[in-house]
Amino acid sequence: DTGVSQNPRHKITKRGQNVTFRCDPISEHNRLYWYRQTLGQGPEFLTYFQNEAQLEKSRLLSDRFSAERPKGSFSTLEIQRTEQGDSAMYLCASSLFAGNNYGYTFGSGTRLTVV
């Protein structure tokens, strides 16, 4: 168990470019979450996968955002035509099963800066 891994750790991109982040959850965890954290705020829910199925998306997830989790393993979050307002820390978390009161395991996040 090597924890939740996120890559890259940092990404600087020009406005209008596309970016993709990757999250590798703990191998036996079937639930995977994406959150966004802006400066001075707590993380906000973006989307959730149970195995390979994307079961909920927040209203924060505009049409420019897409997430996948092929085969229920790693997940990718893509942002198309990035805007300066997309600058944030993108956190991935995983958990084993519903009702797990031990909480999630978080990754270290990908910090996106749009210039």
Q: Which of 32, 43, 75, 79 binds another protein (CB under 8 A)?
A: 43
Q: Is 30 in the site for another protein (CB under 8 A)?
A: no
Q: What whole-number distance in Å separates Cα of residue 11 and Cα of residue 8? A: 7
Q: Which residues pair with 53 in a beta bridge?
A: 50
Q: Which residue stretch of 14-22, 29-37, 61-69, 75-83 sits at the interface with another protein (rule: CB under 8 A)?
A: 29-37
Q: Which residues pair with 6 in a beta bridge?
A: 23
Query: Cα separations (Å) of 70 from 2, 7, 37, 100?
Result: 20, 17, 25, 23
Q: Which residue stretch of 16-24, 42-50, 63-71, 73-81 sits at the interface with another protein (rule: CB under 8 A)?
A: 42-50
CB of 24 to another protein, least distance (A): 14
